[in-house]
Structure 1
């Protein structure tokens, strides 16, 4: 039986990958120490998801309570397991939080990734390594693209970006936030271990990755947190850009499906912008309307004129390269269906 190591296995993408590959007959080794509860407090706790995986997957799921910053622990685990593939989703995931905990952020995102890569090089260099990077590696440079203001959203005025932002977009001369910078370090290191040591690696520069198992908090998890606020009648803060800032949202199932496609046919040191593309894009105001449609409740919100540091005004992923390299993969879950699932799952958790 093939073995898959998933870091951040109790998180949104990590747990989706666990379920997806277990269904394909893999033995799943999940590495998670609930660090989100440390970063975000009780509302970020993911133990419920760990319990769900243990119950749903049974003996196919083996949990490892280990911190990525434990270099010797990571190396020993990789040497013991010698997994057939590694999916690295563990991270400190918040722009805003990173500024308050810069060493924890960098040690988790950059050094933790290096610890894992070096362990892979020593223990199983032939195993595909998939890294969940972020579109924040581009910093705020996407904000230099000419935009047009529409009634409910911003959009690209430059026809070159009609399908979104490509992987060739520059990461230089921009403000990243400390989170973006630590993720750049990890992203480049994953590419370098691929090229330098000929390890099959890829960086998935995610837009808004979401789904019904997301533990959204104010500083991370846009749609999940928005829905939670709606259902609880809690105030949602809209930060700047007239609430017309745009994100492309991809369901965690479609992310897991792409990861499977890459692992089945790996390449060396690849980079992909993975998001929902134009069809699954929405502004905050547009997201309010879709959520209200499924909850039947008016969204409570306040507007804060100051935008978040390094935040994107309009970000849509160009999926052309992904579709060219893996023509059997595509987006299968629409934005409306994604939000409907988040509403139903959040209702169940709040019941």
Structure 2
């Protein structure tokens, strides 16, 4: 297929780009190259004849119409989004503009293109979202595709809005869509403001490792390359109008995750003291959801997909990658918001 992938220079998007090209798909990577988008993320495939790059902003409809007309994609994988909860607390406007208005622009550009092509049956618009739209769980229960939406942050509210737009364009205009909602991703090429890379980089730099509250917030951790595999599976085999929850089947509290990273670093790059001594508990994030957990039954039974990587295996791979790729992450440490506390509210 010829895939138009938005946000393909970002963390998850670049994993999808790399995997899609390795499987023989042609890829148009549409990315505005904002602070977290980096062409270095797709450098392993940039010389492939299957790869094309378009610097464009999903907030600009004219940009999108130009890209659709130029490349005539068979399918869209819409990943471009503002995604950091802490940044959404400090500056919600960017999240509304990109995640809501940008998704509206993508839907309208895709609809115009699809209608102009004669409404081909095999066209797909795959919208990639998050489990955070479902809100917060207690100690029991899991998110299913039928869980009512209950977003708690500007980020999750903006993603919930975009999900509703995608479903509305399917019901009203017949646009052939599929949706996915994923759990927390981690892995190579992850921007250093996020939890896993922040812990790794703070630890090896001898800096404090900040932990919100008591670190008891629980997430289901999904290795990014597993996620990319699941996304291509849903694009190719998912039922139109249907949503699929994608989880790693790896629930861990934040403190458990951080302690695991510290123990692995003690083995791989020993310091003068155990890295756990750098852990520092800080004031919690406003509106911090207690627990997320994915029920993966639908994607497992309907599409035959399951994650292949345990959290321990994935963390080891991730740590190895950061230790071997200082030239990738070192320049990012000076970017605004990296290494400093965001999300005070």
TM-score scaled by structure 2? Answer: 0.85
Point out where structure 1 has 5 or more consecutive residues left out of the alignment: 38-43, 148-155
Matched, 1:232 2:189: no
Tell me the residue number matched to 2:261.
Answer: 291
Please state whether the residue corresponding to 2:325 is helix, strand or coil.
helix
Tell me the residue number matched to 2:333.
Answer: none
Matched, 1:71 2:61: yes
Point out where structure 2 has 5 or more consecutive residues left out of the alignment: 328-345
Tell me the residue number matched to 2:225.
Answer: 253
Question: 2: CA distance between counterparts of 1:322 and 1:30?
Answer: 26
The equivalences for 1:1-351 within 5 A come to 2-35=1-34, 37=35, 44=36, 46-55=38-47, 58-124=48-114, 126=120, 127-140=123-136, 142=137, 145=138, 147=139, 156=140, 161=141, 164-172=142-150, 176-217=152-193, 221-240=194-213, 242-277=214-249, 280-296=250-266, 297=270, 298-299=275-276, 300-304=278-282, 306-327=283-304, 329-350=305-326
CA displacement, residues 191-220 of structure 1 (integer Å, 9 cap, x when unaligned): 122222223322221210121221231xxx
Aligned CA-pair RMSD: 1.8
Distance change in 2, residues 1:216/1:25 (3 Å) = same
1:247 deviation in Å? 0.9
1:251 deviation in Å? 1.2
1:239 deviation in Å? 1.1
1:16 deviation in Å? 1.1
Q: Is residue 245–residue 283 contact of structure 1 (8 Å, CA) maintained in 2?
A: yes
Please state whether the residue corresponding to 1:314 is helix, strand or coil.
coil
CA displacement, residues 63-121 of structure 1 (integer Å, 9 cap, x when unaligned): 11111111111122113222111111111111221233222211100110111111111
Please state whether the residue corresponding to 1:78 is helix, strand or coil.
helix
CA displacement, residues 255-295 of structure 1 (integer Å, 9 cap, x when unaligned): 12222222222322222222212xx1211221123212321
Please state whether the residue corresponding to 2:287 is helix, strand or coil.
coil
TM-score scaled by structure 1? Answer: 0.84
